[in-house]
């Protein structure tokens, strides 16, 4: 039978780490790959029964590739600290890793944003390539990383639970980091922005999330999320202009 290692990437995740580790205790190994936390994350992870490794963080693709290099198992199942694996998902992972030929699996997510399960505006199914056969995959791109997979991929039916954003302040802090990474990626790809680009991209992004991805179905909650995401799309292109 194949072995599955659940890998949790952490940086100062003392609030989430115990519950996250508990949700993946069904795996053959539970590895917390910590990027030099300064809070109680490491102690809490060990107390919850996880093995702890530590490594410096450069970008999201790099740290996931570190796990693929270091963790010995047939399969790696990546879970973020603010995510939880359900028993139904655990059973499905066991089935596909033992009996299916695919080398990678997309996992859907239920995003809980501001305390509310959010399905519109692009937040569901929100597939993430998280279950990888070791030796057949590596990650590319610093943020919103993508997987280069050797072989076929499949789609799991059962979702991860993602406790995404508790409040607007947390949303703004995380999106600010993403806009800086995103602007650098665009610059490296040769994308250039004119003075009006932040405005046109914000309008385009709002329309895409609100109408095409049915953000309107979430009512005022969806409207707020679409406006926030449009704002940070504009910020990303403004940052791109500053880099240039």
- Residue ranges of domains in the chain, CATH in brackets: 4-164 (3.90.550.10), 167-243 (no CATH)
Which of 36, 104, 35, 22 shows the shortest CA–CA distance to 67? 35
The position carrying tokens 């780490």 is 17
Q: Contact 15/21 with Cβ under 8 angstroms?
A: no
Task: Yes or no: say if 85 and 23 are a contact pair by the CB < 8 Å rule.
Answer: yes
Dist. CA 233–CA 61, nearest whole Å: 22
Phi, psi of 232 (to 5 degrees): -75, -20
What is the chain's pLDDT, residue by residue, as a tens digit (244 residues)? 799 999 999 999 999 999 999 999 999 999 999 999 999 999 999 999 999 999 999 988 999 999 999 999 999 999 999 999 999 999 999 999 999 999 999 999 999 999 999 999 999 999 999 999 999 999 998 777 899 999 999 999 999 999 999 999 999 998 988 898 889 989 989 999 999 999 999 999 999 999 999 999 999 999 999 999 999 999 999 999 999 7
Strands 160-165 and 109-113: parallel
Q: How many CA atoms lie within 13 A of 98 on its CB side?
A: 9
């Amino acid at each position: 039978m194949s072995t599955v290692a659940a890998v949790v990437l952490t940086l100062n995740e003392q609030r989430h780490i115990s519950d996250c580790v508990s949700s993946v205790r069904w795996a053959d190994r539970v590895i917390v790959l910590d990027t030099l936390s300064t809070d109680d994350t490491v102690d809490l992870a060990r107390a919850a029964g996880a093995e702890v490794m530590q490594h410096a963080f450069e970008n999201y693709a790099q740290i996931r590739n570190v796990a693929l290099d270091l963790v010995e198992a047939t399969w790696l199942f990546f879970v973020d600290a603010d995510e939880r694996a359900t028993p139904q998902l655990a059973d499905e992972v066991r089935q596909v890793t033992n009996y299916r030929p695919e080398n990678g699996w997309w996992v859907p997510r239920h995003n809980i944003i501001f305390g509310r399960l959010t399905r519109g505006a692009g937040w569901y199914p929100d597939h993430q390539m998280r279950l990888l056969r070791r030796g057949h995959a590596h990650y590319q791109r610093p943020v919103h990383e993508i997987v280069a997979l050797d072989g076929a991929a499949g789609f799991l039916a059962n979702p991860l639970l993602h406790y995404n954003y508790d409040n607007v302040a947390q949303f703004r802090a995380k999106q600010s980091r993403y806009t800086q990474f995103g602007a650098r990626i665009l610059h490296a790809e040769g994308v250039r922005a004119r003075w009006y680009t932040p405005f046109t991209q914000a309008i385009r992004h709002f329309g895409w999330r609100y109408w095409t991805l049915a953000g309107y179905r979430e009512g005022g909650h969806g409207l707020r999320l679409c406006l926030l995401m449009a704002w940070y799309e504009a910020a990303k292109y403004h940052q791109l202009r500053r880099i240039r």
